[in-house]
Amino acid sequence: MATTNVITKSRAELIERISKPEVVSGSEILLRSLLLEGVECVFGYPGGAVLYIYDAMHDNPDFNHVLTRHEQGAIHAADGYARTSGKVGVCIATSGPGATNLVTGIATAYMDSVPLVVITGNVMSTLIGTDAFQEADITGITMPITKHSYLVRNVEDLPRVIHEAFHIANTGRKGPVLIDIPKDVSAAKTLFKPVTEVSIRGYNPTVNPNKLQVEKMINAIKEAKRPIILAGGGVVYSGAHEELLQFVEKTQIPITTTLLGLGGFPSGHPLWLGMPGMHGTYTANMSLQSADLLINIGARFDDRVTGKLSGFAPHAKIVHIDIDPAEIGKNVHTEIPIVGDVKSVLQTANQLAVRAELADEWRTEVLDSKAKHPFKYKDSDTELKPQWVIEMIHETTNGDAIVTTDVGQHQMWAAQYYKFNKPRSWATSGGLGTMGFGFPSAIGAQMANPDRLVVSINGDGGMQMCAQELAICAINNIPVKVVILNNQVLGMVRQWQELIHENRFSHIDLAGSPDFVKLAEAYGVRGFRATNKEEARKAWEDAMNHPGPAVVEFVVRRDENVYPMVPQGGTIDQMIMGDAE
């Protein structure tokens, strides 16, 4: 408690000191405004158009900036920071190529509704539109993948713009907001007056639901014989995990959580059916297909969840709870739409919620299926299986770590075999499927959660896309534990080429990849390698006991596939079970 009081007092003193009206540069206004928004850490990379901003950081003890080794590393780190903290992630890059290097990360955050404020520099206002050196229309380029964007033309507008950007990013359906600042605006001086009020015409997200719609849902539950809940990332983003647990326990409705919803409901709960969709559990998929009532809570009916839309949940009345009205009815016809923040909706629903009395037989059937159809794989005493590695990591961390992943087979194995106890413990690129996301997002997660264990699970392909960020782990002693499941191949592409393209393997061989242990050591990070179970246990134990960052390369079977699998274009009950068949 004493530490909290000291921090609070220090924070109050900082606010008082930097809020005083004073004539300062646009760059100083930016830094002060970020501090007033409660920003604790900014990830970035300097360049000509942001030199005034970086000059303002010089000898500034209040401002914490982490120099990444690539702009994509900066934005993925900011993303991981936001996903695992609930705060707005912030990154800075220069104009032209610096700004365009952020595009993949902006799209990643946009698809997954992650709140970011992305700050870019631009050429002098007088040069905009002249194809000046390192000029790019970054607001135009990113228009489809930002929630909103600003090109600041006047230094007096900066305090308002920054305050609005944070408000927009972190309210309603959350997402990235871009602020583009020309070099002359960052250099210009004006009287700084902090902005604390927000008034944006036309922007007023609906938070509280229409109670009549909630009552319709409750009545549907009373009438349902085969109800199921599909919970998504909206549960996590709204902080509604406790309300969701209460709702499930009151109604006794079985629940499945999407890839981004993992952690939003405790995996050990008897009514949890696992993850649905292309690589989901048998029981989750079959239950969705048999349900007569489907309550979607904060998920967007992604195609990896629904499979063939015309055959998805064919018998179900659909309830869709979402803060974004544009999502409701977009992919799946909805009988009972409920617009509002998930937390607020569930708080209202819990006042009315009753047990689904007609679903007793259904619950028994579903839970019996869950017991009969767990995830399965053929273990080996001679080869290291990736599923076994994930199970070992789960066992040794008690399910309490923050886990980030890259994209591919390892991502699905992590989602299947690591069981999460609490929300904001899982960061993965769901909508865009961005390779290179896993490792730098773990850096941001560790910066946001210095007292928690952060494990980054990667493939040998994605790891090489942002491996240069090992440098900042070493320099700043960021104790991320980096796992590389090395199968010497682009695993998910190989799996599709095997199962769908009749073993026509094309350009997937990664045998020329570096020695990851030596690569880690070259950056000053401890490296370990394992090729069998005994080595794996020892290497992981050594990495866990090491106080700083560590890389553990697990050399796994090249030809292992992720099962179950729903072939693209199929319905989610058309599952290839693989080893479980």
Residues catalogued as catalytic: 71, 133-134, 183, 492
Burial track 55-68 (b if 16+ CB lie within 10 A, e otherwise): ebbeeeeebebbeb
For residue 183, CA distances in Å to 73, 95, 151 come to: 24, 9, 12
The residue behind tokens 């990896």 is: 304
122 DSSP β-pair partners = 182
Whole-angstrom distance, CA of residue 99 vs CA of residue 94 = 6
Read off the tokens for 419: 């069981």
Burial track 473-509 (b if 16+ CB lie within 10 A, e otherwise): bbeeebebbbbbbbbbbbbbbbbbbeeeeeeeeeebe
Closest CA to 440 of 425, 458, 423: 458
The residue behind tokens 């990332």 is: 233
DSSP 251: H
The residue behind tokens 């018998």 is: 315
Between helix 533-545 and helix 386-397 the angle, nearest 10°, is 40
Whole-angstrom distance, CA of residue 233 vs CA of residue 113 = 9
Q: Are 401 and 41 in contact (CB under 8 A)?
A: no
Most distant CA pair in the chain: distance in Å?
Answer: 72
DSSP 177: E
Within 94-169, residue ranges assigned H as helices are: 97-100, 103-111, 138-141, 158-169
Whole-angstrom distance, CA of residue 147 vs CA of residue 164 = 12
Between helix 71-85 and helix 438-448 the angle, nearest 10°, is 50
Strands 22-25 and 189-192: antiparallel
Sequence-distant (6+) residues with CB within 8 A of 555 are 384, 486, 529, 530, 531
Compute how many other C-beta atoms are within 10 angstroms of the C-beta atom of residue 517.
Answer: 18
Whole-angstrom distance, CA of residue 428 vs CA of residue 347 = 28
Ranges assigned E (strand) in 442-576: 454-459, 481-486, 526-530, 550-555
Whole-angstrom distance, CA of residue 224 vs CA of residue 135 = 59
Q: Are 250 and 222 in contact (CB under 8 A)?
A: no
178 DSSP β-pair partners = 118, 149
Whole-angstrom distance, CA of residue 280 vs CA of residue 292 = 20
Read off the tokens for 39: 């920003």
Dihedral over alpha carbons 222, 320, 300, 349 (to 10 degrees): -70
DSSP 265: S
Compute how many other C-beta atoms are within 10 angstroms of the C-beta atom of residue 7.
Answer: 10
Q: Are 230 and 299 in contact (CB under 8 A)?
A: yes
